[in-house]
Amino acid sequence: MSLESRVKLEVDLGKLSENFLEIRRRVAPARVAAVLKANAYGLGVLPVAETVRAAGAAMFGVAEINEAIELVPLGLPVQILGNLLPDEIAPAVEYGLICPLNDLEMARRISAEAVRQNRVVRGAVTVDSGMGRLGLQVAEAAPEILAMRGLPNLELHAIYSHFSTAYLRYDDYSLQQLARFKTLLAELAGAGLTFPEVHMAASDALNNFPESTRPPFTLARCGINMYGYYDNSVQQSMQLAPVVELKTRLAAVRTLRAGASIGYGRMHRLLRDTRVGTIAAGYADGLPLALSNRGYVLVRGRLCPVLGRISMDYTTISLDDVPEAVPGDEVVCFGRQGDRFLPLEEWAQLKGTHAYELLCSIGTRVRRVYRNCRKEN
């Protein structure tokens, strides 16, 4: 027996494809790597991966080995953008992944494993140009990278870095990172070492620092922009459409008397008799607690304010402006209903965060539903 899901995340793969093509046009002649970590930011990795592959993705980027192995059957190169733990080296070589080379010792271990398996493995040198997270310190990196050049069965396929504050427009620190990385590339080229793939830009830099997508860079990484979202501070330089909508249903409709309190902690007390609805979604489904007493949803195309604290499974709303609402009605938490649109960015502003976190917080019981699937572009 199949029942309609109480909460669903609708993903428009047609819009995703159009967004990806727009990003490709923006960065050409550089190619685009689709970053699909964290289950494609919560949207569902395989449908998203198949869509962007058809739209011309050059490569997939992920955070760790399990995510990478899942994508191998799709046939595109897969680069791990994080690191490898010691017990992950052998399967990374076996599956033909592009392995992160965060230091010389890691490169030696990967090389030795490739020799043992009688395979040639592609490596991507990770350079810390100012992020302070992973990789070789940019000012001291050249000798270690040059030492990697002679390691057997290891192809130095790529070199890459990552911005720390590219979401800030006209940011001096980002320009310093870019200059440091370019200086390293020139030093390595002077020693006779160049790379087939060079990349530094991700979604924020595609907009704020387009020079990081031009030569010597051959590739740009893209994650959140594919889905039509930006960091709150980014200069939006592309026409991208949000591809997801979060929907649920009205579970109950009641009238509560003046003075009644709503939810845990009695955070809201009614000043008058009020028609209220209980919707079948809560923070386990991705609704941030920060929306308590502040957020809105859409019912029958009208804004309905959240009353009280959001619970794990349910949220109470005012239906004073929707007297015809009945249990079972569709509720849009973010997205479009009729002529009204509730952007995910409003949630982000209320919580003091960004779209990345909110998408990744949508719960596992929320059904992912895919619309406008396209085979080819």
Catalytic positions: 37, 264
Which residues, including other chains, have CB under 8 Å from residue 172's CB and lie 6 or more apart?
A: none
Task: Determine the Cα–Cα distance for residues 97 and 89; give it in Å rounded to an integer.
Answer: 10
Q: At what angle do helices 104-117 and 141-148 cross, to 10 degrees?
A: 10
What does each C-alpha distance from 343 to 125, 161, 228, 336, 372 come to in angstroms? 38, 32, 11, 8, 21
Residue environment code for 361-377, b if the CB has 16+ CB neighbours within 10 A, otherwise e: bbbeebebebeeeeeee
Burial of residue 74, with CB atoms counted within 10 A of its CB: 0-12 exposed, 13-18 middle, 19 or more buried: middle
Peptide bond connecting 29 to the previous residue in cis, omega within 30 degrees of 0: yes
Which residues, including other chains, have CB under 8 Å from residue 143's CB and lie 6 or more apart?
A: none
What does each C-alpha distance from 125 to 160, 229, 276 come to in angstroms? 6, 29, 57
Q: Running DSSP on this structure, what letter comes out for residue 265? A: G
Helix ranges (H only) for the chain are 13-27, 37-41, 45-54, 65-71, 89-94, 104-117, 141-148, 172-190, 203-208, 344-351, 355-360
Closest residue by Cα to residue 289 from 232, 350, 335: 350
Closest residue by Cα to residue 318 from 330, 305, 333: 305
Closest residue by Cα to residue 369 from 35, 1, 4: 4
Task: Determine the Cα–Cα distance for residues 51 and 14; give it in Å rounded to an integer.
Answer: 8
Q: What is the DSSP string of 85-108?
A: -GGGHHHHHHTT-BEEE-SHHHHH
Owner of token pair 């709503």: 262
